[in-house]
Amino acid sequence: MFKGSYVALITPMDANGQIDYQDLEACIQFHIENGSDGIVSVGTTGESATLPFDEHIKVVKRTVDIAAGRIPVIAGSGANSTDEAVFLSREMAPLGVDGFLSVVPYYNKPQQAGMIAHFNAIADATDVPVLLYNVPGRTVADMLPETVAVLAEHKNIVGLKDATGDLQRLTDTKALVPDDFVILSGDDETSCEFLKLGGHGVISVTANIVPGPMAKMCQAARDNNFALCTAINAEIEKLHSALFVEPNPVMPKWAMYKMGLIKNPELRLPMVIPELASQKAIEAVLHEYALMK
């Protein structure tokens, strides 16, 4: 488990900014039909920072219920307050999630020792496996490989989503953790090389748009068919950059709206729909890939 292509699923919303559970079901079905290996529900791409706890938990519950065991579901359980992250984890553990994804606390810039205490507290709170999530471009604080190695000693901490985009980090981390510790890419642009260097999979934004190719790219790497892995990535690499022209999840929501996968591109403030130039840029790529009419 926790290998291959896990989609960092968006949270669909209606024109009034409320969760669109009909579209959520359609998105989950889309990923099951197109070969995604798993779903991350209400991670940062799912707008976890702006969903209140009751809504956050409800979306995860509905995702698990809709998935109905057909595809693994990892729930975002991160917060910059340890107490809040522990609360979320305890509330969602009985829902049937397969794992938690917990981000390095943002804004308060914890020391490495603080990160160790934070993640150990989360892992102590339930028996659900925990994946660490390092994304210093969002959180400012950067979790070092040596810190990951300490945390990997906890029986419930089973892996890492590395969104640094620094391939040397993968090599450095692999040298310090057990062989069964899962390391996933959280950076689509470098994910192909990450897989070729021994990464176990991806938690992907691009997979919202092209789940099939992302899953096949991961499978090719697992089969040591690196030529195929590279070829698949070359076919979709324009999406990797186009989806980050504006802060995530602005662009994937717009792309999915234009593809007809969701009815509205709404986001929670302070995020808003993309500027006209960005809309045209992603639409041009979608047209090139024949993903929209």
Please give the annotated binding residues for pyruvate, written as ranges: 45, 203
36 and 211 in contact (C-beta within 8 Å)?
A: yes
Given the residues 6, 61, 106, 133, the one annotated as active site? 133
b/e sequence 135-150, b meaning 16+ C-beta within 10 Å: beebbebbbebebbbb
Rounded to an integer, what distance in angstroms lies between the CA atom of residue 26 and that of residue 22? 6
Q: Is 5 helix (H, G, I), strand (E, B) or coil?
A: strand
Quick check: is 161 catalytic?
yes
Going by C-alpha positions, the residue among 183, 195, 225, 190 that lies closest to residue 205 is: 190
H or E segment to which residue 160 belongs: strand 157-162
Given the residues 61, 161, 216, 258, the one annotated as active site? 161
Rounded to an integer, what distance in angstroms lies between the CA atom of residue 243 and that of residue 210? 12
Rounded to an integer, what distance in angstroms lies between the CA atom of residue 275 and that of residue 179? 45
Q: Is 158 helix (H, G, I), strand (E, B) or coil?
A: strand
- What is the greatest pairwise CA distance in the chain? 52
Quick check: is 21 catalytic?
no
Going by C-alpha positions, the residue among 170, 104, 90 that lies closest to residue 132 is: 104
Rounded to an integer, what distance in angstroms lies between the CA atom of residue 82 and that of residue 79? 7
DSSP 95: G
Going by C-alpha positions, the residue among 62, 138, 149 that lies closest to residue 104 is: 138
- Catalytic residue numbers? 133, 161
